Amino acid sequence: MSTINADPFDLDFDVASSALVFIDFQRDFVLPGGFGEELGNDTSLLLKAIPPAKDVLAKAREVGMHVLHTREGHRPDLSDCPPAKLTRGGNTFIGTDGPMGRILVRGSKGHDIVEDVYPIDGEPIIDKLGKGAFYQTDLHQILFDWGIKTLFFGGVTTEVCVQTSMREANDRGFECLLLTDCTGATDKSNHEAAIKMVQMQGGVFGATAPSINVIRALEPLVEAAP
């Protein structure tokens, strides 16, 4: 058992029953000109999350921790996109042509994950329709099969897909940790509020910690890695 120094409680975890979950590090969200920017997001706040996320990902791989990635997106005919979602977006809409192909459509360049944190063999990609990673996906089954109890979350955006997924995981009984610098929000105050909401009431949705605390907890496990 290892321990991560976190808020509002230190989190005990066993690396074999833990997984790193990166939510929607997709070009459409994080790169300038994509859906995220058109929604009004300052993508610099999202891009900032990638270097620390890359470091945690490298350490998780080094110690043999399970890793999963998610992508938000839809079928090319948009038959799986609820009308209520299709009509919202501000300046741009799902399925329309963007600078990196059709916005949030599976198979388009923009829908895929940025190179810095791109999945490798053995790291499943969960394609999801909604904001939460559990809704209408096989994520829960995979975590069950792997015997996972603890989830470390990074990705974008803090207050939308990351927080929704973490709430879903918490309701399903997983211990959850939000990596505060490996996630980014539409603006600073939303990011801070999302972190505060996790921590309230003694950790109502789990705990939060900067990536350095996770790396410090994983470091001693490198020697023993399979």
Q: Active-site positions?
A: 24, 128, 161
3-state secondary structure 28-58: HHHCCCCHHHHCCCCHHHHHCCHHHHHHHHH
Task: Provide, rounded to whole angstroms, the least separation between the CB of residue 35 and ligand TIU.
Answer: 8
Q: Does 22 bind ligand TIU (CB under 6 A)?
A: no
Residue 92 or 150: the one with the smaller Cβ distance to ligand TIU is 92
The DSSP H or E segment spanning 2 is: strand 2-4
Q: Does 112 bind ligand TIU (CB under 6 A)?
A: no
Q: Does 24 bind ligand TIU (CB under 6 A)?
A: yes
Return the percent helix, strand and coil in the chain, to nearest 5.
Answer: 40, 25, 35
Segment near ligand TIU (CB under 6 A), from 76-84, 91-99, 121-129, 157-165? 157-165
Name residue 200's amino acid. Answer: M
Among 15, 56, 67, 160, binds ligand TIU (CB under 6 A): 160
Name residue 68's amino acid. Answer: L
163 in Cβ contact with 197 (< 8 Å): yes
Task: Provide, rounded to whole angstroms, the least separation between the CB of residue 184 and ligand TIU.
Answer: 10
> Of 193, 142, 202, 194, nearest to 172 (Cα)?
142
The DSSP H or E segment spanning 152 is: strand 150-156
Segment near ligand TIU (CB under 6 A), from 105-113, 153-161, 173-181, 200-208? 153-161
Among 108, 157, 180, 199, binds ligand TIU (CB under 6 A): 157
Residue 53 or 156: the one with the smaller Cβ distance to ligand TIU is 156
Site residues for ligand TIU per CB under 6 A: 24, 29, 39, 41, 72, 131, 156-157, 160-161, 186
